[in-house]
Amino acid sequence: MKAAAETTWNKGRVVGKKPPLTPDQVSLIRMILRQEKALRDLALFNVALDTSFRGSDLVRLRVADVATPAGVREIVEIRQKKTETRNVGEYRKVWGS
């Protein structure tokens, strides 16, 4: 018996590295999230831009990971889900100069 032809999940889709968002696109997304009062999504979007965390790592962040009683942490340590590694490259500046 001959196996049925399988269709690949990404047929016809652009794959690979995507170009970064333009400043205008970032501003538009932020404006829409503010208008929708989507504060959680706006916070996640801003942290994603500032840190370049993978989405799977970003959604696992908790308030305690980014805030202390003294204020917002400038450095956030994560264990990358994809690689299960922890190293200096995973410390990324979140806010501040």
Domains: count for the chain: 1
Q: Identify whether 1 is part of a domain.
A: no
CA dihedral sign of residues 89, 15, 32, 61? negative
How far apart CA 62 and CA 34 sit, in angstroms, is 21
Q: Identify whether 9 is part of a domain.
A: no
Question: What is the domain range of residue 29?
Answer: 23-93
DSSP, residue by residue, 43-54: HHHHHHHHH---
Parallel, antiparallel or unpaired: strands 71-72 and 75-76: unpaired
pLDDT single digits (tens) 6-23: 778 888 887 888 888 999
pLDDT single digits (tens) 59-96: 888 888 878 899 877 777 777 766 665 533 344 454 44
Name 31's Cβ contacts closer than 8 Å, sequence gap at least 6. none
